[in-house]
């Protein structure tokens, strides 16, 4: 069956949708589009008519629109007015008439070096098909697809995985998402485009030898980029990493492309790309490197002339305070991280904040997503006041804020002023920055850092730190000492991974050493260079410190309240985790487990199993779904008027199974 799809005044587009026919590979290629590098085709099974529809991808981008207008005779205005109810009827009703899915075409290398072509069938991520319906769907499609093409079912979410666990793979052959995509040769991390000179390093040693000569027009490629990589035009990784690594957060904040290209070494050797000028593009469905035949006429990027101005910090003598006594306005005395943790305490303790604003924003054709939030919270048609109260209660019972104290900027200032040698060194550094004498910056910074680490702390400062932070029950107890600067989490300057945190401080002397190390990180060569590049004055830059008792973690990680590789996706939260502390994830010392959780319709799916190779239990994944919903709700408060601005949250799960949020900040987009 074919039809004409009229598109206003434009030329008619031929609709090649087929109903009731068996699917061959040539027909698949005729109807399919391409997504993330793979040909795909939308299918609709009509159980009432015992037939299926193979949709022409160019003419019908949405299953639901096709069913409503072409099968049921609805107009789009009526569909939009009833969209949520209609979606429930096709994605969640166990007795539904229509089964919606996507067939995608894949190839893999087999043992003798040949390629095997196979099809993968999956539903949308929000679909709640039970096991019997999944089996029926697979068998219906299998009977109508060319028998020479292997067909595998890919569960679209954890719920479907659990339903399929009771069904033999002989009856329903399957492949999990991380098995299908976890080993793919190319994967986008941060979208963007850059023209520059490709610098390919096979080892850390090669990179270290060339690092000093890297410039803003270089595109750096290596197995795994170091956290202290300088600001350049683009990143390329030849080994798997997570989109939530420090280097990708930097790529996001800097607005530069970043991707995993496992076959880069072969491309470099084949086309002589090392040192060549290239045009580098990263999109959701495309990663390309195009060699240029001449050196382009490039202008310095906008950030080269960028000037970020800070509000001058307040340096009057204020006390060391418990975190729960701080609010967000205290960032100009105690730093951003400390102030955000204080604000988190306030949100959890007072339960007065409106945490529903993200769901109240119109997302056409919907006026709001309040109904979806109510469903996630298990409520039936609540009033807005009831919904807000339930959201606040849910967050307060799901997560806790860390206890600890915050050291103000004033203590760092008293320490620096106590030493003539430190004052002299800072004066030399300021003069070098004013003269743009970048050749001596590193040595001046390293000398200053050494001085800070070994200069005695004045007794007045020492007394405030020791008095404010009562000794743990075990005087040798482990402390965590974190940075909290005013020069981070800024528009255009995230500073992810730039300043130090110490997670293994012990005793009074260890605490003072750790505090000095955190203070010294404000003057590291890298942090000084990065701030200087964007015009942040050293005079306006200060470091506060957070001190906490160490909390053992059975699981830890990072979540961002968006999908980093699909910025237009407002549904999903991306979560990484690994056994132990969150630092392992952000530092890249392990490849974490990676999950996506839908905070609108519900459900989650596994993206990658990481270094562990094992997935989490269903019970733990359900807890992580609650954590992700909590992150989305907190976004409503911490993002201010721009409720779509995502958050970056570090978290841990204690040995008792409780969640603690150890950092809340804007995610650099």
Indicate whether 134 and 275 sit together in one domain.
no
Flag the least confident range among 110-114, 243-247, 398-402.
110-114
**Which pLDDT value is given to residue 3?**
37
Q: Compute the distance between CA of residue 121 and CA of residue 156 in angstroms, rounded to an integer.
A: 10
Share above pLDDT 70 across residues of the chain, in percent, rounded to a whole number:
94
Query: What is the count of structural domains for the chain?
Result: 4
E strand or H helix at 35, and its extent? strand 33-35
What would the mean pLDDT of 308-323 be, rounded to a whole number?
Answer: 87
What would the mean pLDDT of 35-64 be, rounded to a whole number?
Answer: 93
Torsion sign (Cα): 215, 218, 221, 227: positive
Q: Which is more confidently placed, 213 or 492?
A: 213
Indicate whether 520 and 570 sit together in one domain.
no
- What CATH number has the domain bearing residue 268? 3.50.30.10
Is the per-residue pLDDT at 1 higher than 50?
no
**Which pLDDT value is given to residue 20?**
97
Q: What is the mean pLDDT of the chain?
A: 90
What would the mean pLDDT of 159-177 be, rounded to a whole number?
Answer: 95
Flag the least confident range among 5-9, 95-99, 507-511.
5-9
485 Cα distance to chain centroid: 22
Does residue 546 lie within any of the structural domains? no
Does residue 308 lie within any of the structural domains? no
**Which pLDDT value is given to residue 242?**
85
**Which pLDDT value is given to residue 247?**
87
Indicate whether 243 and 385 sit together in one domain.
no
Q: Which of 486, 513, 541 lies at the terminal end of a domain, its last residue?
A: 541
Going by pLDDT thresholds of 50, 70 and 90, the confidence category of residue 472 is: very low
Indicate whether 38 and 116 sit together in one domain.
yes
Indicate whether 536 and 588 sit together in one domain.
no
Going by pLDDT thresholds of 50, 70 and 90, the confidence category of residue 4 is: very low
Q: Which residues contact 311 (CB under 8 A, 6 or more apart)?
A: 332
| Cα pseudo-dihedral 632, 634, 639, 642, rounded to 10 | 50
Residues spanned by the domain of 523: 406-541
Indicate whether 25 and 165 sit together in one domain.
yes
Going by pLDDT thresholds of 50, 70 and 90, the confidence category of residue 588 is: low
Going by pLDDT thresholds of 50, 70 and 90, the confidence category of residue 615 is: confident
Is the per-residue pLDDT at 469 higher than 70?
no
- What CATH number has the domain bearing residue 581? 3.30.470.20
CA angle 588, 593, 595 (to 5 degrees): 120
- What CATH number has the domain bearing residue 487? 3.30.1490.20
**Which pLDDT value is given to residue 411?**
96
Report the Cα–Cα distance between both ends of the chain, in Å, rounded: 45
Is the per-residue pLDDT at 184 higher than 80?
no
Flag the least confident range among 67-71, 174-178, 424-428, 665-669.
665-669
Does residue 313 lie within any of the structural domains? no
Indicate whether 471 and 416 sit together in one domain.
yes
What would the mean pLDDT of 603-624 be, rounded to a whole number?
Answer: 89
Flag the least confident range among 220-224, 236-240, 432-436, 466-470.
466-470
Structure tokens that stand for 359 in this block:
């769901």
Angle between helices 384-398 and 618-638 (to 10 degrees): 120
Is the per-residue pLDDT at 323 higher than 90?
yes
pLDDT tens-place string over residues 406-417 = 999 999 999 999
pLDDT tens-place string over residues 192-223 = 999 999 999 999 999 999 998 999 999 999 99
What would the mean pLDDT of 143-153 be, rounded to a whole number?
Answer: 96
Indicate whether 274 and 210 sit together in one domain.
yes
Is the per-residue pLDDT at 492 higher than 50?
yes
Going by pLDDT thresholds of 50, 70 and 90, the confidence category of residue 2 is: very low
Q: Which residues of 447-485 are buried (b: 16+ CB within 10 A; e: fewer)?
A: ebbebbeebebeeebbebbeeebeeeeeeeebbbbbbbb
Residue 228's nearest CA partner among 460, 478, 525 is: 525
Cα-based distances in Å from 395 to 234, 293, 566:
38, 56, 26
**Which pLDDT value is given to residue 174?**
95
Q: Compute the distance between CA of residue 305 and CA of residue 52 in angstroms, rounded to an integer.
A: 58
Indicate whether 444 and 513 sit together in one domain.
yes
Indicate whether 115 and 263 sit together in one domain.
no
Does residue 306 lie within any of the structural domains? no
Q: Which residues contact 126 (CB under 8 A, 6 or more apart)?
A: 87, 91, 92, 157, 598, 600, 601, 602, 603
Cβ–Cβ < 8 Å for 277, 261: no
Does residue 620 lie within any of the structural domains? yes
**Which pLDDT value is given to residue 92?**
95
Among all chains, which residue has been given the structure tokens 């237009």?
A: 568
Does residue 315 lie within any of the structural domains? no
Does residue 418 lie within any of the structural domains? yes
What would the mean pLDDT of 32-47 be, rounded to a whole number?
Answer: 89
Q: Which of 541, 567, 585 lies at the terminal end of a domain, its last residue?
A: 541
Indicate whether 246 and 133 sit together in one domain.
no
Phi, psi of 453 (to 5 degrees): -70, -20
pLDDT tens-place string over residues 367-406 = 999 999 999 999 999 999 999 999 999 999 999 999 999 9
Q: Which of 270, 298, 326 lies at the terminal end of a domain, its last residue?
A: 298
What would the mean pLDDT of 470-475 be, rounded to a whole number?
Answer: 50
Structure tokens that stand for 481 in this block:
């000492």
**Which pLDDT value is given to residue 476?**
58
Is the per-residue pLDDT at 471 higher than 70?
no
What would the mean pLDDT of 52-74 be, rounded to a whole number?
Answer: 95
Is the per-residue pLDDT at 473 higher than 50?
no
Is the per-residue pLDDT at 582 higher than 80?
no
Indicate whether 634 and 495 sit together in one domain.
no
What would the mean pLDDT of 113-135 be, rounded to a whole number?
Answer: 92
Going by pLDDT thresholds of 50, 70 and 90, the confidence category of residue 584 is: low
Q: What is the pTM of this model?
A: 0.89
Is the per-residue pLDDT at 305 higher than 80?
no
């Amino acid at each position: 069956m074919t039809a004409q799809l009229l598109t206003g005044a434009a030329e008619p587009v031929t609709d090649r949708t087929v109903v009731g026919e068996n699917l061959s590979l040539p027909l698949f290629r005729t109807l399919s589009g391409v997504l993330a590098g793979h040909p795909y085709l939308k299918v609709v099974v009509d159980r009432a008519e015992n037939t299926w529809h193979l949709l022409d991808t160019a003419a019908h981008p949405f299953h639901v629109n096709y069913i409503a207008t072409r099968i049921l005779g609805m107009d789009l205005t009526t569909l939009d007015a009833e969209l949520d109810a209609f979606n429930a009827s096709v994605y969640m009703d166990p007795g539904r008439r229509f089964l919606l899915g996507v067939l995608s075409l894949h190839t893999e290398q087999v043992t003798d070096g040949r390629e095997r072509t196979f099809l993968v069938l999956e539903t949308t991520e929000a679909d709640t098909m039970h096991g019997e319906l999944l089996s029926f769907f697979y068998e219906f499609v299998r009977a109508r697809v060319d028998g020479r093409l292997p067909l595998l079912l890919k569960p679209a979410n954890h719920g479907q995985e659990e339903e399929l666990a009771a069904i033999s793979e002989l009856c329903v052959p399957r492949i999990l998402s991380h098995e299908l995509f976890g080993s793919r040769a190319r994967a986008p991390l941060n979208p963007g485009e850059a023209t520059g000179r490709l610098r390919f390093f096979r080892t850390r040693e090669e990179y270290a030898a060339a690092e000093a000569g890297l410039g803003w027009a270089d595109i750096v490629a290596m197995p795994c980029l170091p956290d202290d990589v300088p600001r350049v035009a683009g990143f390329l990784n030849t080994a798997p990493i997570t989109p939530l690594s420090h280097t990708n957060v930097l790529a996001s904040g800097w607005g530069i492309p970043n991707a995993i290209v496992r076959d880069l070494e072969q491309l470099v050797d084949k086309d002589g790309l090392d040192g060549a000028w290239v045009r580098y593009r990263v999109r959701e469905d495309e990663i390309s490197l195009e060699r240029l035949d001449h050196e382009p006429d490039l202008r310095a990027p906008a950030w080269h002339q960028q000037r970020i101005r800070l509000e001058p910090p307040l340096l009057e003598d204020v006390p060391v305070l418990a975190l729960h006594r701080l609010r967000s306005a205290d960032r100009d005395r105690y730093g951003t991280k400390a102030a955000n943790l204080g604000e988190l305490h306030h949100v959890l303790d007072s339960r007065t904040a409106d945490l529903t604003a993200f769901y109240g924003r119109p997302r056409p054709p919907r006026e709001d997503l309040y109904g979806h939030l109510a469903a996630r919270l298990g409520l039936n048609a609540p009033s807005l006041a009831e919904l807000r109260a339930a959201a606040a209660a849910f967050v307060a019972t799901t997560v806790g804020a860390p206890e600890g104290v915050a050291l103000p900027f004033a203590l760092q200032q008293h320490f620096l002023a106590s030493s003539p040698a430190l004052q002299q060194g800072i004066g030399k550094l300021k003069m070098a920055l004013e003269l743009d004498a970048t050749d001596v910056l590193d040595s001046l910074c390293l000398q200053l850092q050494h001085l800070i680490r070994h200069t005695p702390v004045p007794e007045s400062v020492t007394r405030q730190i020791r008095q404010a932070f009562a000794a743990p029950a075990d005087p040798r107890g482990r402390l965590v000492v974190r940075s909290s600067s005013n020069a981070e989490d800024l528009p255009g300057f995230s500073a992810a991974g730039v300043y130090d945190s110490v997670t293994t401080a012990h005793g009074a002397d260890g605490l003072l050493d750790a505090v000095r190390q955190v203070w010294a990180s404000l003057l590291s060569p890298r942090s000084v260079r990065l701030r200087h590049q964007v015009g942040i004055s050293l005079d306006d830059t200060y470091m506060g410190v957070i001190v906490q008792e160490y909390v053992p973690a059975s699981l830890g990680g990072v979540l961002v309240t968006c999908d980093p590789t699909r910025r237009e996706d407002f549904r999903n939260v991306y979560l990484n985790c690994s056994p132990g502390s969150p630092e392992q994830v952000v530092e890249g010392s392990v490849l974490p487990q990676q999950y996506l959780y839908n905070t609108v319709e519900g459900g989650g799916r596994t993206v990658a199993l990481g270094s562990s190779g094992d997935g989490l239990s269903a019970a733990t994944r359900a807890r992580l779904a609650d954590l992700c919903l909590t992150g989305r709700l907190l976004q409503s408060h911490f993002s201010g008027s721009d409720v779509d601005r995502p958050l970056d949250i570090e978290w841990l799960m204690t040995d008792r199974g409780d969640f603690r949020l150890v950092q809340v900040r804007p995610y650099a987009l």
